[in-house]
Each structure stands twice: as C-alpha cells, then as structure tokens.
Chains A and B, each alone.
Chain A
Amino acid sequence: MSWLSNFLTSAIGRKLVMSLTGLFLIVFLLIHLTGNIMILIPDEGASFSGFVEAMESNPVIKVMSIVLILGFVIHIIQGILLYFKNRHSKGGKYAVIAKDNATWASKNMALLGTIIFLFLIIHFMDFFIPMKVLKEYGHHQLYHKVIAAFQNPVYVVLYVIGMISLGFHLAHGFQSAFQTLGVNNEKYSPFIKKLGMLYSIIVPLLFALIPVVVFLTHQK
C-alpha cells in the first residue's frame, strides 16, 4: 500500500483530498440548509422539528454524521499542512503585491478557512455540544434553543460574519475542487464556474438570513 500513502502525501494527492472533502462538505451544506430554512416557516417550528426528528431517527444519517466530522477534520488538517508546505516553498514576499492577477479569495483560503473554523467552534458550542454530547436537552427543544440564541445580536453578527467568509471560501473552493479533479474543459467549465458562483452566493445568504430574520421577528 506504499503507493497509496505516497500518492496521498504528494502535492497533487493532498489537493485531491482537499477537493473531495470540500465537495462532500458542499453537498452537506445543502442538506443542512434544507433543514435550517424551515425555521423561517411561521408554524412555531413544527416543520423544523419534524425534519430534525426525521434526521435523528434515520440510521443512515447517524453514520453520515460521523463521516461528516471526519470530512471536516481531514479538510482542516490537510489545509493546515498545505498552508505551511506552501509558505515554505514560497520563501518570501514581494515589495509590491500584485492585486489584479488573481481573486482575493483564492489567495486567502487559509484565512477564510480559519474564520469559518472559529465560527464552527461557536456554532458547535451553541447547539451540537449541549444537545448531542452533554445531552442538556433533547432534539425536540432545538427549535426553541435556536430562537433563544438568535435573540442575542452578538450571535447574529458572528453568524453573518461566518457566512460571509463561507461565501468567499466557496467562491474559490467550488470551482477549484473541479479543476483539481481534472474537470476543466470547454464543455463543462463555464457551467461549473457559474454554478459555483450561484452556490457561493445563495447558500451562505440563506444561512445568514435565518439568524437575522429570527432576530427581527422574535423581539420580546
């Protein structure tokens, strides 16, 4: 199996790992969003709780949530390793930094990733850890916990910042994942680039809308 470990530690092998875990997380975001957006349905959380219930009782989702955490961890660790490897390879900065030869997001993926990671810590402390690990409350109460959390304007701002970072991270990451896989050609690339742009605007925007709308409509 040495060929496999050689491959996985090669520059392109690492890129492939980033690409595949990234695409997996992109798919996950869609599922996550589908559930979350139900919070905005004005039925006192009935649809949202129904969705949570369905997810909690589905064994496939149970397995997938472990895969998901693995996906996050691998993506993050590999990202950190690549960051340091590349910083070493670069070896210095120019006196004048050219700005018009690449997008800002593409040059700042590690920074954006770090902000998203910090956001994730807050996000996990808010919901995942108290509910799933500490079992402070059951998933039936999740809706009310979410509504309560987003009464706090600080949280709302943090969530919006997290989602803006996610948007920029995806704006580069989405199409970059396909380029790494070797999917770059006249037939598909224009479509992939457009889809990536749409995805990286719409998905974070909808996510960010949830705390904002909850905050504005549930004032006591």
Chain B
Amino acid sequence: MKLTLKIWRQNGANDKGHFKSYDVVANEEMSFLEMLDVLNEELINRKEEPVVFDHDCREGICGACSMVINGKPHGPLRKTTTCQLHMRHFKDGDTIHVEPYRAKAFPVIKDLMVDRTAFDRVIQTGGYISVNTGGAQDANNIPIAQSIAEKSMDAAACIGCGACVAACPNGAAMLFVSAKLNHLNLLPQGEVEKLERTHKMIDRMEKEGFGACSNIGACEVECPKDIQLINIARMNRWYFSSAFAGDQ
C-alpha cells in the first residue's frame, strides 16, 4: 500500500516545527511503528535525518509510543497503542498526519518525541506506599473484596502513556493521576496514606502545568487501556476530603 505521510519535524523544543511530506510503501501486516521504521531506513539511505519517535516494548505495555495520528493519540483504533496499530486499518493512497502530543507539560524533544517526565515527577510525590512490604504474602492473607480488587486492577492498567493529556483540549492529566490514585488508594496497603497521597499528587500535577478537567471525556475515549472517568470522580471526592478534613 502506498501512503503519503505528513510528519511533524521539529528540531528541539525551541524550534517552530513544520509538517513534511513523505511517500512510503507499506504492507498491511506492519504495525504503525514498523511502517515508520521502513521510512527511516529509506531516509538513512538517502542520507536524510530519520524521524525521531519514542518506542520501547512494542507490545502495548510500556506507554512509550506517543504520537498523534490523524488528530488522535495512538491513532484511529480504540483501546490500542501506536505499536499495536496495524496498517490494515488504513487504505491504500491514504494521507496520514503524524504529529507529537501537544501539551505545555510535554515539551517536544525532537520530531514526534515528547518529554513525559512530568508524569514521573507526579509518581514520585505519591505513587508508592511507604511501608516495606517484605516478601510476597500468601494470597488472600489480606482480605480484599473482589469488587474493590477489580476497581484497583482496572486503574492499575494505566501505562502512563499520556494519551489522555494529548487528547484533552485542556491539556489536563486528571485521568492519569486518578488512575494512579485509584490503583493505590482502594487497596488496604495504600489506603493508609490515601488523602496525603491524593493531595501531593494533585499538587504536583498542577505545578507541572497540566490543565483543569472540564469533563469533556476525550481522554476516556482515547485511553489505550480503557481507564474510566469514574476514577476522576473518586479522585475528586478524595481531594475534597483531603482539603476539608479537620486533621489527617
């Protein structure tokens, strides 16, 4: 299949950046990243600069493959990362726009690669529990209701890819932060520091320059791991408690 790619080229955070057009021949079995690999090989052969993009696991678990394909983070397929998006979802002759995530808190490093370390700093302020857990316990040593375990596990599926921020017209990171908070706060081990954690992580989120959620819900639709808005509602409740509680 023949494709025309309009790829965003930007030489560092301070460069203005622009779209550049490339023709590439791909086949339907390729993943989107493999298609970019093909393009890059050609560029290298032609002694041109290859397109810089972020990737690691290529199996949908690391969250590195951040890019916006035709206006959607991770492309048109729902619940799929770019690395797991295959070219059969495009048609011969398609023109595809590929650009980096656009958010103040995620500055472009080069071309399609953005700096998502703002997420790491949010995690550093509270994405852990402060007790030594020791060796693995026997299963069911701590009784946890199935329904609670499920909610926590659903939230734990977040791979920190940042698609939620990229999709959000407000550049908000609430879906990500709420996923991390629900993951830990719902379980007995994490509950002890629930309010403190909530407060710290949200505080950091704001300092990093992420926007304020207005419940548009594009994050939920674009999230490759199907993290739900209900996590944000729960996070808000914890945040209200952490702000209004008499003591903690």
User: Which chain A residues in 75-102 approach chain B with CB under 8 Å?
Assistant: 82, 85-86, 88-98, 100-102
Q: Which of B72, B234, B236, B244 is the most central at the interface, judged by chain A CB atoms within 10 Å of its CB?
A: B236
User: Which chain B residues in 191-234 approach chain A with CB under 8 Å?
Assistant: 202-203, 205-206, 209-218, 221-222, 229-230, 232-234
Contact surface of A with B, Cβ cutoff 8 Å:
3, 6-7, 10-16, 82, 85-86, 88-98, 100-103, 106-107, 109, 172, 175-176, 179-185
Q: How far is the CB of A120 from chain B (nearest CB, A)?
A: 21
Contact status B104-A91, CB under 8 Å: yes
Contact status A102-B217, CB under 8 Å: yes
B70 at the interface (CB under 8 A from A): yes
B119 at the interface (CB under 8 A from A): no
Chain A residues with CB below 8 A from B97, complex form: 94-96
B105 at the interface (CB under 8 A from A): yes
Contact status A94-B222, CB under 8 Å: no
Give A179's nearest chain B residue, CB to CB.
B215
The 3 A-B pairs of least Cβ separation, nearest first, read: A89-B211, A96-B71, A184-B233
Contact status A109-B71, CB under 8 Å: no
Contact status A89-B243, CB under 8 Å: no
B237 at the interface (CB under 8 A from A): yes
Beyond A90-B104, A98-B167: 11 further Cβ-contacts under 8 Å? A10-B203, A10-B206, A12-B239, A86-B170, A89-B170, A94-B102, A101-B222, A106-B215, A107-B218, A176-B215, A179-B229
Chain B residues with CB below 8 A from A94, complex form: 68, 71, 97, 99, 102
Contact status A98-B218, CB under 8 Å: yes
B19 at the interface (CB under 8 A from A): yes
Contact status A109-B214, CB under 8 Å: yes
Contact status B214-A82, CB under 8 Å: yes
Chain A residues with CB below 8 A from B203, complex form: 10
Contact status B72-A11, CB under 8 Å: no
Contact status B72-A182, CB under 8 Å: no
Q: Which of B6, B104, B215, B234 is the most central at the interface, judged by chain A CB atoms within 10 Å of its CB?
A: B215
User: Which chain B residues in 111-132 approach chain A with CB under 8 Å?
Assistant: none
Q: How far is the CB of A144 from chain B (nearest CB, A)?
A: 42
Contact status B214-A11, CB under 8 Å: no
A55–B206 alpha-carbon span in the complex (Å): 44
B161 at the interface (CB under 8 A from A): no
A13–B169 alpha-carbon span in the complex (Å): 19
User: Which chain B residues in 166-185 approach chain A with CB under 8 Å?
Assistant: 167-172
Contact status A95-B202, CB under 8 Å: no
B187 at the interface (CB under 8 A from A): no
Q: Which of B68, B216, B234 is the most central at the interface, judged by chain A CB atoms within 10 Å of its CB?
A: B216
Q: Which of B97, B203, B218 is the most central at the interface, judged by chain A CB atoms within 10 Å of its CB?
A: B218
Give A7's nearest chain B residue, CB to CB.
B243
Contact status B230-A184, CB under 8 Å: yes
A14–B103 alpha-carbon span in the complex (Å): 20
Chain A residues with CB below 8 A from B229, complex form: 179, 184
Chain A residues with CB below 8 A from B22, complex form: none
Contact status A95-B19, CB under 8 Å: yes
Give A88's nearest chain B residue, CB to CB.
B104
Residue B102 contacts which of A11, A82, A92 (CB distance < 8 angstroms)? A92
Q: How far is the CB of B67 from chain A (nearest CB, A)?
A: 11
A140–B216 alpha-carbon span in the complex (Å): 44
Residue B234 contacts which of A7, A10, A182 (CB distance < 8 angstroms)? A182
> Taking A11-B211, A94-B102, A106-B214 as contacts, is the C-beta distance between A86 and B169 under 8 angstroms?
yes
> Taking A91-B102, A95-B97, A179-B229 as contacts, is the C-beta distance between A102 and B170 under 8 angstroms?
no
